[in-house]
């Protein structure tokens, strides 16, 4: 299996790079591409759902992005030590009825020596918002480098 740099042990700089790579992948909304960042036997807790292995991750992401339309995500490094990274994030999306949401959360990540994520534990809360309250307006895909992050947006 190929390495996924940066690899642990992480510095603040390399952890920040890893967080941005994860954000970029998730903003692609490509389940197969996203899943390649995880070990084949990855373990997840996402809200109240427990996943084991890449195949379950791919299925989960397909379901997620079929419901969460116009999904845009920003992640920010919270803490780092060794092969562990903690992030906070917020994403915006709408459902098929046009109801907008901003979802806030925290993730704890554990990586193997090759830089693949072995464990992902996510706690997430959803806030209904009006379309006029949206803060993420870039075209679908990667967040532009000049777009504010969570701290700059006051989130």
Task: Report pLDDT digits (tens) over 66-93.
Answer: 999 999 999 999 999 999 999 999 999 9
With bands split at pLDDT 50, 70 and 90, how would you rate the model's confidence at 2?
confident
Q: What is the mean pLDDT of residues 54-75?
A: 98
Look up residue 95 and give its two tokens.
């459902």
pTM of the model: 0.97
126 has which bridge partners? 103
CA distance 73 to 102: 10
Domain ranges of the chain: 12-134
Phi, psi (deg, nearest 5) at residue 125: -125, 140
CATH number of 12-134: 3.10.450.50
């Amino acid at each position: 299996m190929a390495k996924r740099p940066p690899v642990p042990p992480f510095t603040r700089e390399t952890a920040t790079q890893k967080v941005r790579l994860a954000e970029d992948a998730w903003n692609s909304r490509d389940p197969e591409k996203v899943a390649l960042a995880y070990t084949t036997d990855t373990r997840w807790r996402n809200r109240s759902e427990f996943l084991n292995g890449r195949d379950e991750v791919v299925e989960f992401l397909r379901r997620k992005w079929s419901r969460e339309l116009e999904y845009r995500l920003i992640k920010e490094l919270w803490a780092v030590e060794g092969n562990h990274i903690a992030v906070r994030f917020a994403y915006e999306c709408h459902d098929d009825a046009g109801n907008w949401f901003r979802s806030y959360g925290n993730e704890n990540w554990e990586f193997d020596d090759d830089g693949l994520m072995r464990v992902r534990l996510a706690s997430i809360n959803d806030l209904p918002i009006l379309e006029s309250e949206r803060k993420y307006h870039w075209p679908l895909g990667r967040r532009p480098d000049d777009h504010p992050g969570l701290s700059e947006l006051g989130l």
